[in-house]
A and B are shown apart, each in its own frame.
Chain A
Amino acid sequence: MQMNLRRLAGAVLISSTALASAAAAQELRVGLASEPTSMDPQFHNLATNTQVRLNIFESLIEQDPLQNLEPSLATEWEALDDTTWRFRLREGVAFHDGTPFTARDVIYSVCRIPLVENSPSSFSIYTQSISGMEAEDDHTVIITTNGPNPLLPVESSTWAIMSADASGAEAEVTFADGTCEGLGEVPQQQAFNSPELVIGTGPYKLQESTRGAQIVLTRNDDYWGEAPDWETIRLRPITSAGPRVAALLSGDVDIIESPPIQDLPRLEREGFSVVDTLSNRVIYIALHQEGPHSGITGTDGENPLLDARVREAISLSINRDAIVERIMSGYATSAGELLPPPMFGTSGRPADPYDPDRAKELLAEAGYADGFGLVLGTPNDRYINDEQVAQAVAQMLNRVGIRVTVDAATASQFFSRRNNQEYPAFLAGWGASSGEMSSPLKSLVASFDPDAGMGVTNAGRYSNAEMDELLQKAMVTIDDEERSQLLQQAETIVLDEHGIVPLHYERSAWAMSPKISYEPRVDQYTLAYAVRNAEAD
C-alpha cells in the first residue's frame, strides 16, 4: 500500500513536470546570427531577411530544403509558350487580417517590388523579365515575359506576396506593357516597423519587432497548410558566435544557426543535437585577368595570372582536403565546381588534385620558376573561417614559390575594395539562391557588363566569349535537360582554363536542444516555422 502511494506520488510529480515542460515547449526561441534589416518583405534581398519573412509572407512557389520547387500559394504552373506562363492559385487562403488571397494580391506584390525605395539589394532582378500580368479569374494569373525566361518559377519563390488591401491598393490593379496601375500610395520600408502593415498569408503573424532585441511571432491559427508546432516564436539576433553558443548552452535559446564549427564536438558531447548539410555556397579564389596589377610583384610589371598554366599551378598547389579537415573541421567538401553536384547544371567534375610538383613544373614552363609576389585579399568575418582559409592557401602557395601576403579586412571594407579591383587575387564565396548553375556563372565569370546584369561580381574580369554565348543561350532555353547541358558546357570551359579556382563548399550547421529537430537546408535559411518539437511527435 505504502509502495503504491509512493508510486502514485511519483507519477503525479512526473506528469506535472511533463505538463510544465509541455507548456514551456509551446514557445520556440531561436538565436540568429544576424538581424533582418527591415520587416518589409520586399526591401532587401538578403538571406537574413528572407528567412524571417518566410514565416509571415509566402510566395507562389516555395523551395524545399534541397531547393526543389514546391507548390505554395500557387498549386500548379506551366509555360503556355516561350514567353507566357500560367499560375493557378490556391483557393481558400486568407491573409492575417481575414481578407481572401486573390490574383490581385499577386499582381500588386510583383508591381510593388521595383517601387521599393533605397533598397540595398533589390528583388527587382527577379521581376525585370516580366512585361505584364493578367488575372484570368480570381485564382489564375497569366504572366508574360519580355523574352524566354526558364527561371520564372524559381524567381517567383523570391516574391513575397503581400495583401493589396492592407497596403492601400485600389480595387483594380493592372499590369500591362510594363506599367502598373491602381497601386495607390505604395507603403515604404519605414511603414513596416508597425505590425499592422505586416500582413501575409504565412503560418505566423508578427506580434512585435524590437530592433536589436527580438522579433516575436504568434501562430496564425487560420493557416491553410500544416499547423506549425509552436504557439509563439522568439527570434533573437546574437551576432557574435561565442555568446550565441553560450546562449544555447545556458538554455536561453532552443536552436542557433551557424554555430562555430570548432564548438560542434563540445555541443554534441553536452547532449545537444547538431545537424548539417552541404550548402549551395562555394568558396573560391578569383584571379585578376585584366592587364597588370600593382599587387603582383617580382614580374617586371607582367601579370602572370593571364597565363592559364599559372592559374592551373595555383589550383594544383592547394591541398583542399587539408583545408577541409584542418581549418573547417570536416564541415566542408572540396569543390571542383561552382555549385555542389548534383544541383542543377553541375557536371560532377572532381576537385583538382593536390600536386605541388606539377604546379612547380607549370610555373617553370610559364617562365616563373622563381615564383612571384601576390596579395591575397580576404574578408575576415563573412564566411566560415575565411581568414584562416586564406592563410592556409597563402601557406600552400608559398611552398611552390608564389610569395603570398594575406590582406584581411572586415566584410564591408573588403567588398568595396574588391569591387575597386584592389586585390590581384581574392577569396570570396557565392551562394546560388536559385539553386542552379546559371547563378554563379552569371555573377562570377560572365564577362563584366553590369548594365546587362552580367559578371557583376566578376572583379577578376575573367572573360571568354564562347562561355558567354553558351550561358546566354542557356538562359533562354526553357527545356530543362537542354539547359542543364548548356550550363555544364559553359562551366567546363571556365574550369578547364582555371578562370576561377573553387576551394570548397561550405556545410551549414544548426545546433539545438535535443527536444527539437530541424531539417537542414541547402540555402542556409533558418526557418523557424519548420522547426519541429521532437517531444510532441
Chain B
Amino acid sequence: MTDTTPTPAPLPAPAPARAQSPLLRIARNFAEDRLAVLGLLLFLAVVVLAFAAPWIAPQNPYDLAQLDIMDGGLPPGEASFSGMTYWLGTDQQGRDMLSAILYGLRISLVVALVSLACAITIGVVAGMAAAWFGGRVDSLIMRVVDLQLSFPSILVALILLALFGRGVDKVIIALVIVQWAYYARTVRSSAIVERRKDYIEAARCLALSHRRIMFRHLLPNCVPPLIVVATVQIAQAIALEATLSFLGVGVPITEPSLGLLIANGYDYLLSGRYWVSVFPGIALLITIVAINLVGDRLRDIFNPRLQK
C-alpha cells in the first residue's frame, strides 16, 4: 500500500533526463552506418506501402469478383480488356501482381508483427520468472525452452498447422509457439546477470513486490539484447510464414501472402511466366534484407565489445 504512492512520482522524473541521452546516442551511432540507414528507410517504405495497400493498390486481389481469369497470365506491362495496366503482370487467376504483392506484404508483416508481440510477451514473462525465482521454476521453464529449441522451427510449425488447418490466425498461433522460447532464453540470461547487481539488492531491501522488481527494475535493463533478438526474429517470422504458405499450409489460397504468391508462380517457372514468382520473391527479399541490416547494426551498437 505504502509503496504505490511514491513510485509514479520518481519514475517519470528521471526517465526523460536519462532516456534522452542514450536514445540520441543510439540514433547517432546507428546513423554512422549508411547501409543500416538505407535498410531502415527501405523497411519503413515497405511498411507504409503494405499498410496503405487498400488505398494505393490498383485492384483488391482478395475480392474474387474483381478478378477475371480472361486476364490470367498476362506479362508485365500488358493492359487488360477494361484498360487497366498490369505493371507486374498477372497470375493465372488474373490477379494484378502489383496489388497482390502489396496485400501480400501486408499479411506477411501483420503476421510477423502480431506473432512477435505475443511471443515477446510470453517469452519475457517466462524468462523473467525463470531468472527471478530460479530453482525448480527455472529448471521447468528452461527445459521446456530447450525442448522447444531442439526441434527445427519449420517442423514444429508444420505439425501445428497440420493440426489446426489453414488461416491467418492459425499461422500466428504457430509462429508464437515456435518463437517464444528464443525470447525466454534471451531474457533469462540477461536477467540472471542483472539480478545480482546492487540496484536490485536495493530494490529488495525496500521490500518491493516481486512483480514490481521484475518488470520495473529488471526488465528495462534486459531490453537491449531483446531488441536485437526481436529484429532478427521478425525477419525469421516473415520468412517462416512465407515458407509455410509456400508449402501450402499457411494462409488461405484466396488471400495469398508473399509465400503463397511465390508458390503459385513456381509451377510456371519452367514455362517462362517468371513474373508470378519472381516479383513477390524480390519483395520478400527486400523486406528481409532491410530488417536484417537494421538488426545487424543494432546488435553492433548494443554489443559492448564492439563499442568504440
B209 at the interface (CB under 8 A from A): no
Q: Does the CB pair B270–A245 fall under 8 Å?
A: yes
Q: Does the CB pair B267–A262 fall under 8 Å?
A: yes
Residues of chain B lying within 8 A (CB to CB) of residue A263: 270-271
Residue of A at shortest CB range from B272? A266
Least Cβ–Cβ distance between B282 and chain A, in angstroms: 21
Query: Are A387 and B253 also in contact (CB < 8 A) when A395-B64, A395-B67, A395-B69 are?
Result: yes
Q: Does the CB pair B254–A326 fall under 8 Å?
A: no
Query: Are A391 and B267 also in contact (CB < 8 A) when A327-B72, A327-B92 are?
Result: no
Please report which residues of chain A, range 386-435, place their CB below 8 angstroms from some CB of chain B when the two chains form the complex.
Answer: 387-388, 391-392, 394-395, 398-399, 404-410
Q: Does the CB pair A262–B268 fall under 8 Å?
A: yes
Please report which residues of chain A, range 258-279, place their CB below 8 angstroms from some CB of chain B when the two chains form the complex.
Answer: 260, 262-263, 265-266
DSSP majority for the B interface? loop
Q: What is the count of residue pairs linking A and B with beta-carbon distances less than 8 angstroms?
A: 69
Interface residues in A, total, Cβ within 8 A:
29
Residue of B at shortest CB range from A376? B254
Residues of chain A lying within 8 A (CB to CB) of residue B63: 398
Please report which residues of chain B, range 136-195, place their CB below 8 angstroms from some CB of chain A when the two chains form the complex.
Answer: 165-166
Residues of chain A lying within 8 A (CB to CB) of residue B64: 391, 394-395, 398, 404
A67 at the interface (CB under 8 A from B): no
Least Cβ–Cβ distance between A359 and chain B, in angstroms: 14
Residues of chain A lying within 8 A (CB to CB) of residue B248: 380, 408, 410
Which among B94, B165, B267 is the interface contact of A260 at CB below 8 angstroms? B267
Residue of B at shortest CB range from A397? B64
How many angstroms between the C-alpha atoms of A392 and B165 in the bound complex?
22
Which among B92, B252, B253, B271 is the interface contact of A326 at CB below 8 angstroms? B92
How many angstroms between the C-alpha atoms of A389 and B248 in the bound complex?
16
Which among A242, A319, A394, A405 is the interface contact of B270 at CB below 8 angstroms? A242
Q: Does the CB pair A391–B270 fall under 8 Å?
A: no
Residue of A at shortest CB range from B93? A391
B24 at the interface (CB under 8 A from A): no
Query: Are A406 and B68 also in contact (CB < 8 A) when A263-B270, A263-B271, A326-B73 are?
Result: no
Please report which residues of chain B, range 30-86, place their CB below 8 angstroms from some CB of chain A when the two chains form the complex.
Answer: 63-65, 67-70, 72-73
Residue of A at shortest CB range from B73? A326
DSSP majority for the A interface? helix
Residues of chain B lying within 8 A (CB to CB) of residue A388: 92-93
Query: Are A322 and B70 also in contact (CB < 8 A) when A398-B65, A404-B64 are?
Result: yes
A323 at the interface (CB under 8 A from B): yes
Residues of chain A lying within 8 A (CB to CB) of residue B268: 262
Q: Does the CB pair B67–A241 fall under 8 Å?
A: no
How many angstroms between the C-alpha atoms of A394 and B94 in the bound complex?
13
Least Cβ–Cβ distance between A522 and chain B, in angstroms: 26
Q: Does the CB pair A241–B254 fall under 8 Å?
A: no
How many angstroms between the C-alpha atoms of A175 and B219 in the bound complex?
83
Which among B69, B73, B166, B266 is the interface contact of A322 at CB below 8 angstroms? B69
How many angstroms between the C-alpha atoms of A483 and B67 in the bound complex?
45
How many angstroms between the C-alpha atoms of A406 and B267 in the bound complex?
20
How many angstroms between the C-alpha atoms of A150 and B240 in the bound complex?
57
Which among A241, A266, A409 is the interface contact of B267 at CB below 8 angstroms? A241
Least Cβ–Cβ distance between B272 and chain A, in angstroms: 7
A-contact 0/1 string along B249-291, CB 8 Å cutoff: 0001110000000000011101111000000000000000000
How many angstroms between the C-alpha atoms of A241 and B266 in the bound complex?
11
Residue of B at shortest CB range from A408? B253
Least Cβ–Cβ distance between B297 and chain A, in angstroms: 39
Please report which residues of chain A, range 226-245, place their CB below 8 angstroms from some CB of chain B when the two chains form the complex.
Answer: 241-242, 245
Please report which residues of chain B, range 104-157, place their CB below 8 angstroms from some CB of chain A when the two chains form the complex.
Answer: none
Which among A266, A319, A406, A408 is the interface contact of B271 at CB below 8 angstroms? A266
Q: Does the CB pair B65–A391 fall under 8 Å?
A: no
Residue of B at shortest CB range from A410? B248
How many angstroms between the C-alpha atoms of A260 and B267 in the bound complex?
8
Residues of chain B lying within 8 A (CB to CB) of residue A322: 69-70
How many angstroms between the C-alpha atoms of A443 and B72 in the bound complex?
35
Task: Report the 6 A-B pairs with minimum CB-CB distance, sorted nearest first.
Answer: A398-B65, A398-B64, A262-B271, A395-B64, A326-B72, A326-B69
Q: List 10 A-B contacts (CB under 8 A).
A: A262-B273, A265-B271, A266-B272, A322-B69, A380-B248, A395-B69, A398-B64, A398-B65, A408-B253, A409-B165
A326-B72, A327-B69, A394-B64 known, 8 other contacts, Cβ within 8 Å? A262-B270, A326-B70, A391-B253, A391-B254, A392-B93, A395-B67, A395-B69, A408-B253
